[in-house]
Structure 1
């Protein structure tokens, strides 16, 4: 287990290095002049030269790349042009909210998908209706789903706050403000988890040991929960790692709908302001979170199935 963990950590480090290199390369390949985009056409040569020095654009690309990598090792992502603060500081302020929102959405999607998949497998009459409902939810754009939920639970039935975030000083109030955004993310991704869980359960239920358990008179509910659920969870865990990445990108739209001060709203502000250092830091932070999600998924396999060997 330890050698495998060390190899996975090394692979994660290499993946982050490749992601950082791609982020830097894309910044170089962006069309147009970033200094002109930020200052406008009427900027003086002195102002242009000062901004070029601040962005490091007066150095050769190879030198700038090495400075970028050395800065990453020191957790120095540069300074935001829009906020005038270190990018790492801005990410540290916004990351907890976005990460908690993604974890809430992922947990909610799993809590919705798994019981419904068990119900669909146990009662075939429900299968068609639940599959159709999940397909319908999957077809809805995330922003539309968020607006519908906002109207239902914040305007028509004023049960939850419509937007904003009060901070972490009051955990209960903070959770109330995050329930609707988390439910939006959960409903948007529950359909994928439902289809994976349903298909995996059907495959496991066709195995010989399941037929043996049924022949011995084991109740069907116990067959599902005791004998089928755990082995059927392995493919689902793999999808959970991928869904973490989808939820991170989906959080950009959800945070805009519900006016949450997370990474998503920060990314939109950086795009509008042409804040290239902040955009680079945001892309790299999201890549690092996706790598972390997939690393945790790999380690969860041994907990779900002790037969898994780490070669």
Structure 2
């Protein structure tokens, strides 16, 4: 890697530091913004005022906000995320147990989205007046207006209940059953993200097709896959990658709905349970995990766009 690219990557990483610091501050303030007193909930409804004060002191809630921020940041840096106030289970263990399910769901959903959106975008851009392109555009409009939970229920009804090919919900014990369990949720997530990605890709391809260098290449006889590979993809991919990162961030929170729909033991379902039972340490930790994932996704998208965009100077 050249010195210019290393400097570019270093600058982008440094720019993420204050964003992470702001996220940590929001996570610390979250326990003050959520309804209910964490100390009272942990101490129990029959605890005396002295017992509640002792719990509040043990949690550090009687310290200034900046002190709480620094303590929490040091704990996070050392890998200590605390324990669930409901079960006493270390939160790091919860992340190990449930994080894989959410990661597989997002990976499968984004893969489905890209595999469906790419041919749709090429069809609508290269054959915009064909019947297939018009039918594809109408189908995208229908899917775009369907809520994810409804898509999941329809897929479960058609592909699971009527055929018995796939499980309706839950997560299998062995890898094979686990993979089968992720098919319907991944299709649900992928279909929810696909319409915007396909439309954005088609629009980017149309703009590239109208560019002078593509017109020149076509006049010289270049067509088909060679034209797409050499001149269209690299110039049309940066906007699609940016939108894909935005979709991935949205799907991270949309996974809460999908996991609830299919009964998956992921981080989204854990977030819902923790919030409903005022499990503040778990809510804090999962908010930090989701926020950090969004920052990382956007950072990777930024670097990928810079690599794909031929106009990048790497200064």
Query: Which residue pairs with 1:64 in the alignment?
Result: 68
Is 1:293 aligned to residue 302 of structure 2? no
Kept in 1, the 8 Å contact 2:30–2:284? The answer is no
Are 2:266 and 1:257 equivalent residues in the alignment?
no
Size of the alignment, in residue pairs? 309
Contact 1:118 1:224 in 2 (8 A): no
C-alpha separation in 1, matches of 2:89 and 2:216: 65
**CA-to-partner distance for each residue in 1:149-205, whole Å, 9 max, x for gaps?**
1111110121111111124xx333221111110110000000110111010000000
Which structure 2 segments of 5+ residues have no match?
A: none
| TM-score normalized with structure 2 length | 0.91
TM-score (norm 1): 0.92
DSSP 3-state at the match of 1:165: coil
Query: Does the 8 A contact of 2:31 with 2:38 survive in 1?
Result: no
User: Which stretches of structure 1, 4 residues or longer, exceed 6 Å deviation after superposition?
Assistant: none
Q: Where does 1:114-153 land on structure 2 (aligned, <5 Å)? A: 114-123=118-127, 124-125=129-130, 126-153=132-159
Q: Could you report, residue by residue, the CA deviation over 1:206-244 in whole angstroms, capped at 9, with x for unpaired residues?
A: 011221222222334543344212211111011111111
Displacement of 1:61 = 3.2
Q: Root-mean-square deviation (CA), in Å?
A: 2.0
Q: Please show how residues 159-308 of structure 1 align to structure 2 within 5 Å.
A: 159-167=165-173, 170-308=174-312
Rounded to whole Å, the distance in 1 between the matches of 2:269 and 2:107 is 18
Deviation at 1:54, TM superposition (A): 4.3
Is this contact kept in 1: 2:84–2:91, CA < 8 A?
A: yes
Aligned counterparts of 1:139 and 1:54: Cα–Cα separation in 2:
49
Checking the alignment, whether the CA contact within 8 Å between 1:113 and 1:194 is kept in structure 2 is yes
> Match for residue 93 of structure 2?
89
